[in-house]
Amino acid sequence: MGIRPSSLAAIALAATLLLTAGVAPVAAESSRADGPGHDEAAGAPPPVVALTAGGQTFQLQGRPGDSAWAAAVKTSLATEFQSLEDLTGLTAPGGTIAIVEVNDGPNDYGISYDAAGKTLDIPQSAGSAVVADALARIWFNPTFFSDTWVNEGLAAFGEQVAGPGNFLPCSAVPAYPGTGAPNLTDWATLDANSTITEQNVADWQTGVSCAFFTSVARTAGIANFRNVLAAAAARRPAYGDTGGSAAGAASPVGLHYLLDLIDEVGLFPAGIADPDMAQKLVGGLGLLDTATLAARSEARAAYHALETRAGSWAIAPAIRAPLQSWEYAAAETAITTAGQILDLRDAVAKTIPSYGPDGSTIQTGFSTASTQADLEAVRSVMQQMSDASGTVVRAQKLRDGSHSFLQSIGLLNADLDTPIKHALSDLQGVQPAKAQTDARSAIDEVDGAAAVGLMRVVLAVGVLGLLLVAAFWLVLLRRRARRRKKKAAAPPDDSVAASPSE
């Protein structure tokens, strides 16, 4: 409910407290025992009226002769129950809910909802806003949210379905009227002896709780606000699946989980400028300590920055699980490791333009890591990939660069393309050791090319020398042969051949 002034007169105490909100069932002051009613006929059984609203079946159990209460509740049900469903996006529990007329009470008007028995107590003086508040308890009660201030604030927020002019929106909250520091964990419970200050504190608690949800719903937008409530009802984790639900199906939702849902399901999708808006609103209300909120702010900022960098790569449970459990030191460590993996991924992609990490085992390992050790294992492989990519680039540069005369001779008929091609394929297949081996073979061939070239030159010179020697001897032998042939073909010398007797 919104904040309303309290009356000083004891006789007006109950009327004043009609304008506060609450969720914890109060049996002592809200007894269903007979009390002063509206034209109550003594001894007559209370009439039971069956009706349906918003797909939910109700039984109205008013006091005999009190037709005014029954008429007021029926009128409110006809419009406000469906409006509450539209506002919250929540569905009715089904079955039949009994609505019972009870005495006005000093706390929560006398409203009480028994979720197990599906019984809703509504005070005899209920007006439209009070009925809307009471109907909201069908959803907002201790079986849904564990914190009283949450159920109180949501029930009071639900009163807005009563329509403009029926009550003041609880968006502006006055200064804390009590002594000491405000504390919503210590929820005020009023009785006939409560002081005006205690009444004012109770009104303030309801007002500030309602103002919180009013501000969240206005900022997130009603569609995102409904998504928050739906996620809470289904116990869906705020940071996505981490291998289990955020809370047991039967466990009431606590403040940590609710605040995460408000931020991650409600405000963040709405593109809110201040990611700490919600936690700032609950700060200073005795709910969470400053150091925890500061750690939460830093971890969430790092998480969303990582999400942006990761792109299509899902964030690992090893990061989301500690965020979910508010273990921010562990979350920050995991986020740092994940950031290093992305650094290495981007470095490899920059070094090897043809490298595509999407769909690889690296991406799978990054997105499914459930522990810090899993993330560190992925980082180790990615470091090896980075090292191997450097080796591949060196091989490419050596292949494509200028070579000395001897290297060019040594690389004649050498196949450098094949090992480099294999190395690139190895990288794509996340086989860094094999990529290193293939790239190294190309590098070794270039590095040894000068020696091979020298050997080839020496061999070539040697062969050439042998050929020259052979050619020399061949020429020499041919010359000698020609001389012998020429000499053999020459005519005999007459002076030598003449007879001595002549």
pLDDT digits (tens, 9 = 90+) for 321-343: 999 999 999 999 999 999 999 99
Q: Which of 81, 98, 205 lies closest to 136 in space, CA to CA? A: 81
**160 vs 136, more confident:** 136
Q: In the structure, what pLDDT confidence band is assigned to residue 158 with cuts at 50, 70 and 90?
A: confident
Find out whether 177 and 197 touch, Cβ atoms under 8 Å: yes
Q: Which comes out higher in pLDDT, residue 381 or 245?
A: 381
Helical H segments across 402-448, by residue range: 405-410, 417-428, 432-447
pLDDT in tens, 107-136: 666 889 999 999 999 998 888 778 888 999
Strands of the sheet with 96-102, listed across from one edge: 48-53, 56-61, 96-102, 119-123, 112-114
Can you tell me the distance from the alpha carbon of 108 to that of 463, in angstroms, rounded to the nearest whole number? Answer: 112
Query: Mind giving me the DSSP string for 290-349?
Result: HHHHHHHHHHHHHHHHHHHHHTTSPPPHHHHHHHHTT-HHHHHHHHHHHHHHHHHHHHHH
Please state the rounded mean pLDDT for residues 403-411.
87
- State the average pLDDT for the chain: 84
List pLDDT tens digits, range 178-212: 989 999 999 988 888 889 999 999 989 999 999 99
40: left (phi over 0), alpha (psi -120 to 50) or beta: beta
Helix (H) or strand (E) holding 17: helix 13-17
Residue keyed to tokens 């079955």: 95
d(CA 321, CA 241) in angstroms, rounded, equals: 9
Give the model's confidence band at 161: pLDDT under 50 very low, under 70 low, under 90 confident, else very high: low
pLDDT bin (cut points 50, 70, 90) of residue 164 is: low
User: Environment class of residue 89 by beta-carbon count within 10 Å: exposed (0-12), middle (13-18) or buried (19+)?
Assistant: middle
Q: 27-40, pLDDT tens digit by residue?
A: 333 334 344 344 44
- Residue whose pair of structure tokens reads 């999407």 in the numeric block: 358
Structure tokens at 259: 């605040």
Could you give the percent of the chain with pLDDT greater than 90? 56
**Predicted model pTM:** 0.78
The token duo for 123 is 């005070």
Predicted confidence at residue 249, as pLDDT, reads: 59
What integer pLDDT is reported at residue 40 of this predicted model? 45
Query: Distance (Å, rounded) from C-alpha 230 to C-alpha 462?
Result: 89
